Amino acid sequence: MAFTLPELPYAENALEPSIDALTMNIHRTKHHNAYVTNLNKALEGHAELQAMSLDDLCRNIATLPDSIKTAVRNNGGGHWNHSMFWKWMAPKGTGGAPSAELSAAINAAFGSIDGFKEKFAAAGVGRFGSGWAWLCRNADGTLAICSTPNQDNPLMKGIADCGGAPILGCDVWEHAYYLHYQNRRPDYLKAWWDVVNWNEVNRMFAAR
């Protein structure tokens, strides 16, 4: 079955003023849509790969045929990353807060929630060019922050060497913020915390 562009779980203007409606519209209907289209194209004639989940395509990226590996890495990664990115955000005031369990893990790894936000933003600001900042849960329940270039993600063993399972990610490509913030990536990352959907992060942290 072909991969499809997901609907947003909220209106395009619901994340304003952190993220404006036009950015949301172009980001999903143009950029994300192109990743979906090009992923389906790359998988044409590969029935066994079309049957795999998007998670498994990312996890097994290193084992894919060389002829399509880069296309699936870029476009399958792009589809996974953006599908999650929409869910990792919610209108201000509706995203809840870190659970007691997640808070304890954040405090253990980063000292405090503010210490976490500072390190996460530094990972995003420090990513040269285009990419993502990630919060990952290791198998032992501890947390780590990393960043990846392009549309790589921490599920991609052997390519993105973050380790762990990504439970929160922020898109720091210019297309994610340039209309409203121009070159001010740090301002975008600061405003982004207002629309983080902690309910989804809590769910992914608890999932084993």
Binding site for Mn ion (CB under 5 A): 171, 173
Closest to Mn ion by CB, 80 vs 173, is 173
Closest to Mn ion by CB, 171 vs 200, is 171
CB of 73 vs Mn ion, minimal distance in Å: 15
DSSP state of 63: G
CA distances to 13, 60, 63, 91, 200 from 96, in Å: 19, 33, 39, 10, 9
CB of 104 vs Mn ion, minimal distance in Å: 31
CB of 132 vs Mn ion, minimal distance in Å: 9
Closest to Mn ion by CB, 152 vs 171, is 171
Closest to Mn ion by CB, 173 vs 205, is 173
Closest residue to Mn ion in the complex (CB): 171
Given a contact cutoff of 8 angstroms between Cβ atoms, the answer to whether 156 and 58 are in contact is yes
The separation between the first and the last C-alpha atoms of the chain, rounded to the nearest angstrom, is 27
**Sign of CA pseudo-dihedral 138, 142, 144, 150:** positive
